[in-house]
Structure 1
Amino acid sequence: MRLLLSAVFATCAAVSASAGEVSFNNGWQEQRLSLFSSNDYTFGENLGLVSEGSVSIAWSRVDREDWATSGASWNWTVAQSVPATDLGRKGGDDRNISLYFVFVPESIAPDLEGANIRSLLGNDDVRIIQYAWGGNHARGEVIPSPYGPQGQGVTIALRQAGTGSFSESVDLEADYARAFGGEKGALVGLAVSGDSDDTDSVIRAALGNLILR
């Protein structure tokens, strides 16, 4: 895993520290989605994960100073991949690694500042964009989430299932408009997941240099 984590930096240009740089050293917690299923996360300069026929989420709140975030960039690496799946199919949508951005209307953001991920996911006002490495979809395809209330979440495909190391840059404001219409609210949460339970496969991946702008 140490070699995998270092690959995030060895294969992609390092990003210098700046306002909006997300730390993986503090504030991240794992949220299990099943009593008997959990990924292994490593927190440090970047976030590493190993998923062996399992699924769970590592999540963190976003500081108030970054609630107005309209874009993001990051590097990610996959050393071992799940097979390609249909990311719109409930119970058959394994993917290597996903990065979630959780939005709420600005008017209620202060009231939800201390909410945990389960409370946020259960709130009808929450909207979630999930950028995924997995499946066999065209880059940029917007896929309605098969989970939760209809219209609350979408997956945007960035990389098809496979291995490698890449840098990504996304326009959250434009993608929010494409996915949900209207203007985005406040970015109050981030999450990372790996999902290998449906295909009973293994994922070894890492994500780093996450910058909010």
Structure 2
Amino acid sequence: MLASVTLGLGAPAVARAATEPGLAAAGWTHGEYDGLRPANFRSLPDGVAIEGQGAGSFVWRRVEGAPACLTWRWRVDAAPPPTDLTRRGGDDRAVAIAVGFQGWPSRSTVWQRMQHGVAQARAGSHALPRSVLIYAWGGTGQEPQSFYSPWLSGLGKVRILRPAQTPTGRWYEERVDLARDWREAFIGDPPPLQEIAIGTDADDTQARISAMVERIRFTRCA
């Protein structure tokens, strides 16, 4: 559903949850999903920690500029079991990072824009991005290398960087080329950045979540 366009975690975003003061000071806003218990997001010296049981929610903040490379490190200590992220419903994941863009995919349709408009009406003052790249820790490992989110009407592309079976309890460094990934997902020149979000979703499996994301940086691509 496009109302969940910030992360595509499978439930409409309808309200703001309480934002921990440290996160608010860093520019993050905590959003919750309709019918889901929100996870606990708290600030770290250079990142975000996530805890929850059968929970699903996200934090997001504005970003600006042309797409570059995005780097971060993340660690999961407790996660849902493998679920198929290509299907609508039952698609839990430990953590996902989503990057929203200001512009439409070059081949977006009238129907897609109408769906986005419906979602925007529900989102209120939070201007939703018009295209999204989602990088996930979760899934079965059998999904395609990249695929359209089942919730975003063709406006969100998912890449699984770490399947659910990835060993827990250790840090993993990531680096993605946003401009290249946008071109591969949507064709054409990538539009400017709009926001970044970090989220979790474990409502279907009722699993415990414990994860951290640190050192999020936009850098020039070599």
Q: What range is the shorter-chain TM-score in?
A: 0.7 to 0.9
Q: Which runs of 4+ in 1 moved over 4 A?
A: 119-123
TM-score, normalised by the number of residues in structure 1 = 0.76
Q: Which runs of 5+ in 2 are unaligned?
A: 1-21, 105-119
Percent identity of equivalent pairs: 29
Q: How does 1:35-184 map to 2 (within 5 A)?
A: 35-45=35-45, 46-62=47-63, 66-105=64-103, 118=123, 126-137=130-141, 141-148=145-152, 150-161=153-164, 162=166, 163=168, 164-184=170-190
Q: Is structure 2 residue 28 aligned with structure 1 residue 28? A: yes
Q: Which residue of 2 aligns with 1:212?
A: 218
CA separation of 1:29 and 1:54: change in aligned 2, threshold 3 A: same
When residues 159 and 36 of structure 1 are mapped into structure 2, their CA distance, relative to the original with a 3 A threshold, is: closer
Counterparts of 1:97 and 1:51, CA distance in 2: 11
What residue ranges of structure 1 are gaps of 5+ in the alignment? 1-22, 107-114
Task: Decide whether aligned partners of structure 1 residues 85 and 35 sit closer, same or farther in structure 2, where only a CA change above 3 A counts.
Answer: closer
Given that 1:51 and 1:195 are in contact with CA atoms closer than 8 Å, whether structure 2 keeps it comes out as no
SS at match of 1:49: strand
Residue type at the aligned position of 1:132? A
CA–CA separation in structure 1 for the residues paired with 2:127 and 2:212:
28
Cα distance in 2 between the residues matched to 1:205 and 1:159: 13
Q: CA 1:147–1:189 in structure 2 vs 1: closer, same or farther (change >3 Å)?
A: same
User: What is the Cα-based RMSD across aligned positions, in Å?
Assistant: 2.7
Distance 2:61 2:125 in 1: 12
The count of residues paired between Structure 1 and Structure 2 equals 178
8 Å contact kept, 1:120–1:126: no
